[in-house]
Amino acid sequence: MTIDQHTTVGIIGSGAMGAGIAQVAAMAGHNVVVYDNNAAALSKAQSMLAATLQKLEEKGKIASAADILGRFRFAEHLTAFEECGLVIEAIVERLDVKKAVFAEAEKVVSSTCILATNTSSLSVTSIAAACSIPSRVMGLHFFNPAPLMALVEVIPAIQTDAALIPIATTLMQAWGKTPVTAKDTPGFIVNRVARPFYGEAIRIYEEGIADIATIDWAMTEIGGFKMGPFALTDYIGHDVNYVVTETVFQSFFYDPRYKPSFSQKRLLEAGWLGRKTGRGFYDYAATAAAPTPNKDVELGKMMVDRIVAMLINEAVDALHLGVANMEDLETAMTKGVNYPKGLLAWCNDEGTGKWLGILDNLYQQYHEDRYRASVLLRKQAMKNKNFV
């Protein structure tokens, strides 16, 4: 199995992610087949891609929008994938639906076609098991918006032919992306390690320690994050962010470290999904007054340390369990979610002992497994060693 610029790329799903990945592939020189069984969605994607490419041409970022758009073919039948050497699925995050689509696609494509899923948190191994040749199935997790976000998580299933990893990695680099390799565990790197950014912030809010505006202020102004956790979940959408949290929680056999919150679930149930609906943790109505944060620096530092300690613990545990190597963990969190620095570097800057102390204090206070420190963090702190 090989992929080069002459390989036709198939995309299953014409939503924001599917269309975005299709744009990346076409701009890298590939002919691209975009499939969707919803004719209206397919037509909308075609119009949006044409408009996007036209804007890029006007800005001088591409030579000809027409040339790139000419590489696309939009299809309502899977049979259009017959000539594809790579097919990437980007549809709803439901395992049953993905497995069914992969089983159908495999009947159409050649025996050498690579099949990839853009799942953000589901088991790639389980999806591969739906295919008669599971060795050609893998995960290629792009981040939204795909044309702008550099990171791609390359995820081999346990059945994946090991030769596909360097092939996929080289291809993503050719597409201008920054690939990292992740073990097929729930949430892979980013959606696993980032869970406390949202979950611990919500826990602090639910306990009445601070309101959402104050927590967001602390994480941006003191912590250096580009967006606070509540503003970010509203931007992502609770229909996406909460579902990922719930999926990771269930997939980790209900480990309390990933436990979802009722506060976010109620927003989802109310249909208050964030910016897209005009209401989430914040009210986005034109007449709504912006909440004023309490700029208590001591309180802010305490909250930042608590949330960062939980993030560092997740990164260290991911390293301990072989989810990814140190370099890929650091790259994933800086390129995938734009953290101000890699979490292992952050740990080193202030010493493993500090972060272990915060976690142990929380554990003693709450007596919850949510705050158990990774054994690797404890070992490093006992030796007064950093991560190198």
**What is the C-alpha separation between 118 and 328, in angstroms, rounded?**
18
User: Are residue 27 and residue 131 in the same domain, yes or no?
Assistant: yes
Whether 116 and 21 map to the same domain: the answer is: yes
Query: What tokens does 92 get?
Result: 């709803």
Classify residue 187 as exposed, middle or buried by CB count within 10 Å of its CB (0-12, 13-18, 19+): buried
Q: Are residues 102 and 213 in the same domain?
A: no
Q: Which of 115, 146, 181 is the last residue of a domain?
A: 181
What is the predicted pLDDT for the residue at 388?
A: 81
Domain-embedded: residue 140: yes
Is the four-CA dihedral 307, 312, 318, 323 of positive or negative sign?
positive
Asked if residue 106 and residue 141 are part of one domain, the reply reads yes
Are 84 and 213 in the same domain?
no
* Cβ burial 265-288 (10 Å sphere, 16+ → b, else e): eebbeeebbbeebebbbbeeeeee
In a domain, 220, yes or no: yes
Task: Choose, from 14, 118, 121, 191, the residue flagged as catalytic.
Answer: 191
Question: What global pTM score does this model have?
Answer: 0.96
Judgement on whether residues 217 and 364 belong to the same structural domain of the protein: yes
Which pLDDT does position 139 carry in this prediction? 98
Q: Please give the pLDDT value at position 4.
A: 83
Residue ending a domain, choose from 181, 213, 234: 181
Amino acid 2: pLDDT: 76
End residue of a domain, out of 145, 160, 181: 181
Q: Choosing from 14, 120, 123, 241, which is the catalytic residue?
A: 120
Selected catalytic residue, list 106, 141, 313, 330? 141
Residue segments in the chain with a per-residue pLDDT below the cut of 50: none
**Which among 106, 118, 121, 153 is annotated as catalytic?**
153
Domain boundaries, position 162 = 8-181
Element (H, E) at 310: helix 297-320
171 within domain boundaries:
yes
Q: Give the pLDDT of residue 250.
A: 96
Question: Is residue 288 located within the same domain as residue 220?
Answer: yes
Residues 170, 23 share a domain: yes
Residue 222 inside a domain? The answer is: yes
> Structurally, how many domains does the chain consist of?
2
Task: Find the CATH number of the domain harbouring 294.
Answer: 1.10.1040.50
What is the full DSSP assignment across 324-379? S-HHHHHHHHHHTS--SS-HHHHHHHH-HHHHHHHHHHHHHHH--GGGPPPHHHHH
Q: Is 11 helix (H, G, I), strand (E, B) or coil?
A: strand
For residues 154 and 240, membership in a common domain is answered with: no
Residue 293 lies in a domain: yes
Token pair listed for 359: 């976690």
pLDDT for position 308 = 98
Is 320 part of the annotated catalytic residue set? no
Residue 141 appears among annotated catalytic residues: yes
Q: Could you confirm whether 153 is annotated as catalytic?
A: yes
pLDDT at residue 294, as a whole number: 98
Residue 384 a catalytic site member? no
* Shared domain check, 353 and 245: yes
The answer to whether residue 1 is domain-embedded is no
Query: CATH code at 82?
Result: 3.40.50.720
> And the tokens for 331?
């790259």
Which residues share a beta bridge with 181?
A: 154
CA separation, residue 274 to residues 112, 241, 282, 303 (Å): 43, 10, 7, 23
Q: Side chain identity at 337, as an amino acid letter?
A: V
Starting at the edge strand found earlier in the chain, the sheet holding 114-117 runs 72-75, 32-35, 8-12, 84-89, 114-117, 137-142, 151-156, 178-181
Residue 187 located in a structural domain? no
Let me know whether 135 and 247 are in one domain. Answer: no
Identify whether residues 149 and 204 lie together within a single domain: no
Model confidence over 152-178: pLDDT tens digits? 999 999 999 999 999 999 999 999 999
The verdict on residue 387 lying in a domain is no
Token look-up 């204090």 returns 361
